[in-house]
Amino acid sequence: MIEKLKTVILSVLIVLSLLQSYWLAYSMPGLAARVRTGIDYVNTEQMGPTEQIENVIFPESIVLHMGQSQHTVLYPPTNFYDLVFRKIQAVGFKSFTRYAKSSYDWNQIRDKKKGVELRFDGVPVSLLGKLMKLEGDLVFTADRIDRIWIYMDEDTELVHAFLFSSDGRTVYEASRTDITARDVEEYVGFGQYGTSYKPDGDIYLPEISIEAVEAVVGYKTYPPDQMQRSLFSDPGTTRTLENLNGALIFTDGKRGLQIEQNGKWASYTNPAAPQTTQNDISENVLASLQFINEHGGWDGLHRYVPVSSTIDAAGDGGRMVLFQQYYGAYPIVSDELYKFGYMRLLLQQGVVTEYERSLMTLENVAQLKTTRWLPGGELLRSTLQAMDRRSEIRSVYPAVRVIPATDGDTLSLVPVWAARYADGTQVIVMNAQPAGYDGVAERHEWQLEQQQKKNTTANADKTVSGIGAAGGSGRSNTSVSRLSDLEDKTAAVEQPAG
């Protein structure tokens, strides 16, 4: 009996042993490996904060038309620029009527009518609608807008608001707007002390040198593995390679992250994206914003720079999204030799296939600042006319060029005039005047010349008026006097920029 009991117990133990072996061999041992803990995976620290779409879309410049061929230009994010832009954001534009651009003499409106012009260079209406109140039909909402131009008719005090399509042929007039003639007068008044600009085609150039700032700024560089952790959900599955140029490459077999420029520039590629030629620009811009929020964050102020699909030789119309970084009031420009100051993304139907950005973040306070002067007048105008592809230039603006220090972690940001072509590429037009140039003396001399011209014109008008009266023509000189008074009140008084 005892022997039989031992045999049963032994058999049970053998069965249990077999069951345990089976469980260990054929159960799901990988289940625990899929549950990621804080020990084997650490969420990456962002290089900068997240951003919202309304903070990366704003006019590249605002032109104030003061009548009598007087103009000035405001650049972001200066005080007067912010005041004008915020006030226009708060009003609405409704019930648009479509016209051919050629239906109006815009040069006459520019020179004769007081108004304000916001320059966007091709932002989709669907994105502009996130900044301001726009209500229109499907044709309007599917378009892209280059400019918003608001002007007043002084005789009737009616305000007209036009939005210019990026096709170069169409304008939309808002039949309903909350802007009044008094508002336009207020906007124009902000330009009273601004530098005088003159149009050169569709571009505005200053008549004299403008004040700018050169800065030496420190920075810190985030380690490449931080970007690796941000872009790859499981960094442990990536391999690390080094190419012939010394660039570091992380890859999981599909996606790749290349770190170049001595660990300061990152280029990410994801070829496993849907292949299609249909791309919605607004969708791609919003997807780019969210992607950057989740993979690195933002370093300071950036502006969405529309890229024309008509001059995209690679056939990437609607796919490329570019955000340009600002330092103070100046967009940053760089070249292929030293990349900095922008983030570029390529997308397919909202999926990022390429992502380029710097791993450097600038310090909040500059180590050194110096006043420099950017040339204006005929010197700037003739230099621009001599440039290649002059007809393709969409804008000319003050910027800062990046020059890295040969020793230490600093960048020199040197003022320049820059130009942007329709395809989004930028070039440097002119450097600043030599250090020590007396721009204040130039401005005083220019003011004196303008006053002398005004006095000469006034004296000539008085002479003509007197001859008319003596000849019995009956012509009154009252209108001449009023015109002279109006000129005195609206003439821009030049002061150095802040």
pLDDT tens figures, 334-381? 988 899 999 999 998 889 999 999 999 999 999 999 999 999 999 999
Same domain, 433 and 453: no
User: What is residue 29's predicted lDDT score, i.e. its pLDDT?
Assistant: 36
- In a domain, residue 227? The reply is no
Compute the average pLDDT of residues 281-310: 90
DSSP for 244-273 reads TT--EEEESSS-EEEEETTTTEEEEE---S
- In a domain, residue 91? The reply is yes
Q: Match 């620290």 to its residue by tokens.
A: 45
Number of CB atoms found within 10 A of residue 131's CB: 18
Q: Is-contact 390 239, C-beta < 8 A?
A: no
User: What is residue 45's predicted lDDT score, i.e. its pLDDT?
Assistant: 63
pLDDT tens figures, 376-420? 999 999 999 999 899 899 999 999 999 999 888 999 999 999 999
Q: Is-contact 327 300, C-beta < 8 A?
A: yes
Same domain, 360 and 218: yes
pLDDT at 316 exceeding the cut of 70 = no
- In a domain, residue 29? The reply is no
Q: How many domains does the chain have?
A: 3
Q: Is-contact 68 457, C-beta < 8 A?
A: no
* Helix (H/G/I), strand (E/B), else coil: 235: helix
pLDDT above 90: percentage of residues in the chain: 59
Same domain, 285 and 411: yes
- Token pair belonging to 68: 């009598």
Same domain, 329 and 450: no
Task: Quote the domain boundaries for residue 324.
Answer: 209-222+273-437
Torsion of CA 252, 253, 256, 260, to 10 degrees: 90
- In a domain, residue 280? The reply is yes
Can you name the residues that pair with 203 across neighbouring β-strands? 200
| Alpha-carbon distances of 180 from 79, 183, 269, rounded to whole Å | 22, 5, 50
Same domain, 416 and 455: no
Residue 100 CA to residue 7 CA, distance in Å, equals 102
| Alpha-carbon distances of 367 from 78, 215, 370, 374, rounded to whole Å | 22, 7, 11, 22
Q: Match 């959900």 to its residue by tokens.
A: 233
Same domain, 174 and 321: no
- φ, ψ (nearest 5 deg) of residue 392: -95, -5
Q: Is-contact 76 303, C-beta < 8 A?
A: yes
Same domain, 317 and 345: yes
Number of CB atoms found within 10 A of residue 71's CB: 23
Compute the average pLDDT of residues 304-326: 72
Same domain, 410 and 485: no
Q: How confident is the model at residue 13 (pLDDT cuts 50, 70, 90)?
A: low
pLDDT at 20 exceeding the cut of 60 = no
- In a domain, residue 317? The reply is yes
Q: What letter does residue 386 receive in the DSSP assignment?
A: T
- In a domain, residue 264? The reply is no
Crossing angle of helices 181-189 and 79-89, rounded to 10°: 160
Compute the average pLDDT of residues 139-150: 93
- In a domain, residue 25? The reply is no
DSSP for 122-133 reads EEEHHHHTTTSE
- Share of the chain residues as helix, strand and coil, in percent rounded to the nearest 5: 30, 35, 35
pLDDT tens figures, 449-490? 888 888 877 777 676 665 554 443 333 333 333 333 333 433
Same domain, 425 and 456: no
Same domain, 384 and 456: no
User: What is residue 237's predicted lDDT score, i.e. its pLDDT?
Assistant: 78
Same domain, 176 and 75: yes
Q: Where are the alpha helices (DSSP H) in 113-251?
A: 125-128, 138-141, 181-189, 224-231
Q: Higher-confidence residue: 115 or 348?
A: 115
- In a domain, residue 12? The reply is no
pTM of the model: 0.81
pLDDT at 301 exceeding the cut of 70 = yes
Same domain, 279 and 425: yes
First to last CA, the chain: 107
pLDDT at 318 exceeding the cut of 90 = no
